[in-house]
Homo-oligomer: A and B are copies of this chain.
Amino acid sequence: MKSKLLAVAMCGVASSAAIAGPIEYSLNSSAAAVQQYAPLFQKELDRSRSFVDQMMEAGVVVPIPKDPGGGYTHEQHKQNFKIIYQGGQLYKLTGEQKYADYVRDILLAYADLYPTLGEHPARKNSQSSGRIFWQVLNDAMWMVDSIQGYEAIRDSLSEADRKNIDDNVFRKAAAFLSTGSAVTFNKIHNHATWATAGVGMTGYVLGDKELVDVALLGLDKSGKTGFLRQSELLFSPDGYYTEGPYYQRFALKPFIVFAGAIEKNDPSRKIFEHRNGILLKALRTTIQLTYDGYFFPFNDAIRDKSLKTDELYHGVAVAYSKTRDPGLLSIAQWQGRTVLTDDGMMVANDLAAGKASPFSFQSLLLSDGPEGKQGAVAIMRKGDGMTGQALVAKNSSQGMGHGHFDKLSWQYYDNGYEIVSDYGAARFLNIEAKQGGRYLPENESWAKQSIAHNSLVVDEKSHFNGDRRAADKLAPEQLYFTNEMGSQISTAKMTGAYPGVEFTRTLALLDVEGLGQPLVADIMRVDAEGDYAYDLPLHYNGHIMRVGFDVKSNVAGRPVLGESNGYQHIWVDGTGKPTSADNGFVTWIKDDRFYTARWVPQVGSETILAESGANDPDFNLRREQMLVQRVTSGKDIVFASILEAHGRYDGAAERTTASDSQVKTIQHVRHGGADLLLIETLAGAKSVLAISYDQDKNKKHTAAIDGQTISWTGFAAHLRLGGE
């Protein structure tokens, strides 16, 4: 059976004359002449050639498995599946026999080795053990790439070689990954996606329907597990992956790649329409979860992970092929890379033909949970996705083992920078010196803890007392969201993170008359059954310019803020007690813009200016500053704060404007069940963010503030007040 896997590569024949206009590439499956492709594709081809040619010089290196991640045999087998994949694509594109021979020889070596393999020497346990790698996940990743490379050369092999590799490599590996790793295979989990993808794609290549069926429907073929069920349970209806953007990006590849194979082999399945087009939705959502090309780093995440990553080169190519969205071409352009498939060639061609248009980064509410009932991530944007504003309200569920204890936390991006930040993970990926590149102890002791986030912390304990299984059970409730221009508002409530405490947070991105940049408003309402101590941290990026209130400074050895739950990692620079929102502020500068955080101080509260980095003997933590509003005792508290971007510092022209806040003051008023935040600028403009918390969108509300009566309809509104 002539299989049609992921992509039948097009061999384009183009004129070798000087290029005057756009190039037309024609389909021609056998071309040995020198090809010329659109630049992005050509670059990829050259890169692969260079890589595979170099590897060819080293010959066939298929060592007996021995080492864990990062070690020699692990890295070599990783290298091998890259070689097999790229060598296969190169053979399809160029027809050069040396590539087919090299891939064949490597697979023949695996055919000798694989049947002899048992559990991996460096395994963690039997259940998760791979054969080639210490964990079965990596065996699955090996499979996904290798089967694609194999498919490209299979028809060119001798009968004997084909049978040898079919039987001794892929059938055996498929058996191991499916029935031989039943626990993993039947999970609803990213590892299972890789396993089902590898097995299913092998099924298509070998013409083995059984393998395809178990991959799609689970070992018992009931559909309760398997690839299709995973696509229904691992993404919310908005295509959001519960572990967060970093892992969403990682989980995407097997979904996208296997779906491409299903589409080619069994188009009647209409896989890309499955569950309302969930797979393409997931790809788009992955892109939406970025700023300036970098993923929002919440939950466990490496902060330097951007759209420039293999999973998204594949993702963009497949999605473009299905949708022809010219915005995806802009993403490809930013990435500067594509994949050596016909989808990648299409991207490269259309990009070269000038068809790209800017990707539409939007304000979105992304629900979490398979039915979208486990909280949400709200993204409120203004301007473009690289230099504009993005306010991210993280109202999602725990996100399993890689989740952090950060209910209702937030981030703010502006002017190309992360201004209010999420720490990400304490991990230095692939760096031997940092415990072999694994998650560090400080990931548990700092990065996951509530105080390390812009979250409410009660009695200096983390949410759910740091118990992730308890945390997995309860998600926030998104109460309201609007992306109305100039008044974008998100409200969510969390119950159960602390016994007896419920907190409701509204984050809003508001245009305020006379202010050059939008303003962030943050109203955190706490309803408690008893008296508790509260901390509300703000982790910011910049150099302090002005503090509105007197600070008692610890200028020599700074004390540490606490003993556990992350508090042991905080040095206290100073404390103060602002008396009103007039002096309750801190101004900092980041590059050429100023920021002022301002809040209404609680009676009896204090403000802590602090920095992370204490109790870190191995220098595993970054040292970053924060300010904390602290209420030592209170029952029902409202934290009312704003973040204002203002002014300009022009180092070249040596001119500075508006280096101090343009806001005069803010006021918080509770009126019945409603919260009102009054904002008054130095220029005299007054406005109110009014939140009724009432879900009846037609109900009218009135309230008195600043000597005026205001009225609005529905859950929330941002209203201008009459002038003085």
How would residues 603 to 619 of chain A score, 1 for a CB under 8 Å from any chain B CB and 0 otherwise? 00000000100111101
Q: Known contacts A432-B660, A587-B433, A660-B433: does B655 contact A617 (CB below 8 Å)?
A: no
A310 contacts chain B at the CB level, 8 A cutoff: yes
A19 contacts chain B at the CB level, 8 A cutoff: no
Asked if residues A555 and B615 are in contact (CB atoms below 8 Å), the reply is yes
Docked pose: A305 CA to B652 CA in angstroms: 6
For residue A652, which residues in chain B have a CB less than 8 angstroms away from its CB? 304-306, 308-309
Docked pose: A546 CA to B435 CA in angstroms: 10
Docked pose: A437 CA to B617 CA in angstroms: 37
For residue A28, which residues in chain B have a CB less than 8 angstroms away from its CB? none
A659 contacts chain B at the CB level, 8 A cutoff: yes
For residue A305, which residues in chain B have a CB less than 8 angstroms away from its CB? 651-652
Asked if residues A659 and B308 are in contact (CB atoms below 8 Å), the reply is no
* Shortest Cβ distance from A554 into B: residue: B557
Chain B min CB distance to A381 (Å) = 24
Asked if residues A556 and B560 are in contact (CB atoms below 8 Å), the reply is yes
* Shortest Cβ distance from A616 into B: residue: B555
Asked if residues A614 and B302 are in contact (CB atoms below 8 Å), the reply is no
Asked if residues A654 and B429 are in contact (CB atoms below 8 Å), the reply is yes
Asked if residues B433 and A619 are in contact (CB atoms below 8 Å), the reply is no
Q: Known contacts A543-B619, A617-B551: does B430 contact A656 (CB below 8 Å)?
A: yes
For residue A656, which residues in chain B have a CB less than 8 angstroms away from its CB? 429-432, 437
A388 contacts chain B at the CB level, 8 A cutoff: no
Asked if residues B310 and A653 are in contact (CB atoms below 8 Å), the reply is yes
Contact residues of A between 663 and 697, Cβ < 8 Å to B:
none
A589 contacts chain B at the CB level, 8 A cutoff: yes
Chain B min CB distance to A503 (Å) = 31
Docked pose: A589 CA to B302 CA in angstroms: 15
For residue A659, which residues in chain B have a CB less than 8 angstroms away from its CB? 430-433
A651's partner among B302, B615, B654, B660 (CB-CB below 8 A) is: B302
Q: Known contacts A557-B558, A623-B623: does B617 contact A431 (CB below 8 Å)?
A: no
A223 contacts chain B at the CB level, 8 A cutoff: no
For residue A589, which residues in chain B have a CB less than 8 angstroms away from its CB? 428, 431
For residue A634, which residues in chain B have a CB less than 8 angstroms away from its CB? none
Asked if residues B556 and A649 are in contact (CB atoms below 8 Å), the reply is no
For residue A306, which residues in chain B have a CB less than 8 angstroms away from its CB? 651-652
How would residues 523 to 558 of chain A score, 1 for a CB under 8 Å from any chain B CB and 0 otherwise? 000000000000000000001111100010111111
Between A430, A437, A544, A652, the greatest number of chain B beta carbons within 10 A of the residue's beta carbon is seen for A652
Q: Known contacts A544-B619, A619-B543: does B431 contact A555 (CB below 8 Å)?
A: no
A543's partner among B571, B617, B622 (CB-CB below 8 A) is: B622
A327 contacts chain B at the CB level, 8 A cutoff: no
A655's partner among B304, B430, B547, B619 (CB-CB below 8 A) is: B430
Chain B min CB distance to A515 (Å) = 19
Docked pose: A660 CA to B652 CA in angstroms: 39
Give this chain's copy count.
2
Chain B min CB distance to A333 (Å) = 15
Asked if residues B433 and A545 are in contact (CB atoms below 8 Å), the reply is yes
For residue A434, which residues in chain B have a CB less than 8 angstroms away from its CB? 545
* Shortest Cβ distance from A568 into B: residue: B556
For residue A429, which residues in chain B have a CB less than 8 angstroms away from its CB? 651, 654, 656
A372 contacts chain B at the CB level, 8 A cutoff: no
Contact residues of A between 407 and 429, Cβ < 8 Å to B:
428-429
A68 contacts chain B at the CB level, 8 A cutoff: no
A486 contacts chain B at the CB level, 8 A cutoff: no
Chain B min CB distance to A553 (Å) = 4
Chain B min CB distance to A538 (Å) = 16
A545's partner among B304, B309, B431, B543 (CB-CB below 8 A) is: B431
Chain B min CB distance to A13 (Å) = 31
Between A305, A434, A611, the greatest number of chain B beta carbons within 10 A of the residue's beta carbon is seen for A434
For residue A619, which residues in chain B have a CB less than 8 angstroms away from its CB? 543-544, 547, 573
How would residues 573 to 612 of chain A score, 1 for a CB under 8 Å from any chain B CB and 0 otherwise? 1100000000000010100000000000000000000010
For residue A39, which residues in chain B have a CB less than 8 angstroms away from its CB? none
Q: Known contacts A556-B614, A617-B551: does B649 contact A431 (CB below 8 Å)?
A: yes
Chain B min CB distance to A658 (Å) = 10
A121 contacts chain B at the CB level, 8 A cutoff: no
For residue A558, which residues in chain B have a CB less than 8 angstroms away from its CB? 557-558
A95 contacts chain B at the CB level, 8 A cutoff: no
For residue A304, which residues in chain B have a CB less than 8 angstroms away from its CB? 651-652
A557's partner among B560, B574, B622 (CB-CB below 8 A) is: B560
A556's partner among B309, B431, B615, B655 (CB-CB below 8 A) is: B615
A559 contacts chain B at the CB level, 8 A cutoff: yes
Between A304, A428, A611, A654, the greatest number of chain B beta carbons within 10 A of the residue's beta carbon is seen for A654
Between A309, A560, A573, A651, the greatest number of chain B beta carbons within 10 A of the residue's beta carbon is seen for A651
Chain B min CB distance to A70 (Å) = 9
For residue A623, which residues in chain B have a CB less than 8 angstroms away from its CB? 611, 623
How would residues 296 to 315 of chain A score, 1 for a CB under 8 Å from any chain B CB and 0 otherwise? 00000010111011100000
Docked pose: A225 CA to B430 CA in angstroms: 64
Chain B min CB distance to A11 (Å) = 27
For residue A432, which residues in chain B have a CB less than 8 angstroms away from its CB? 656, 659-660
Q: Known contacts A306-B652, A557-B557: does B545 contact A428 (CB below 8 Å)?
A: yes
* Shortest Cβ distance from A294 into B: residue: B651
* Shortest Cβ distance from A335 into B: residue: B652
For residue A430, which residues in chain B have a CB less than 8 angstroms away from its CB? 649, 654-656, 659
Q: Known contacts A433-B587, A558-B557: does B302 contact A617 (CB below 8 Å)?
A: no
A546's partner among B302, B433, B573, B587 (CB-CB below 8 A) is: B433
Chain B min CB distance to A38 (Å) = 22
Docked pose: A560 CA to B555 CA in angstroms: 9
Chosen A-B contacts, 15 in total, with CB atoms closer than 8 Å, are: A306-B651, A430-B649, A430-B659, A431-B656, A433-B546, A433-B587, A433-B659, A434-B545, A551-B617, A556-B560, A556-B614, A556-B615, A557-B560, A557-B571, A623-B623
Interface residues in chain A, defined as those with a beta carbon under 8 Å from any beta carbon in chain B: 302, 304-306, 308-310, 428-434, 437, 543-547, 551, 553-560, 571, 573-574, 587, 589, 611, 614-617, 619, 622-623, 649, 651-656, 659-660
A304-B651, A547-B619 known; 17 other A-B pairs, CB under 8 Å?
Answer: A304-B652, A309-B652, A309-B654, A429-B656, A430-B654, A431-B659, A432-B656, A432-B659, A433-B659, A434-B545, A553-B617, A554-B557, A555-B617, A558-B558, A573-B619, A611-B623, A623-B623
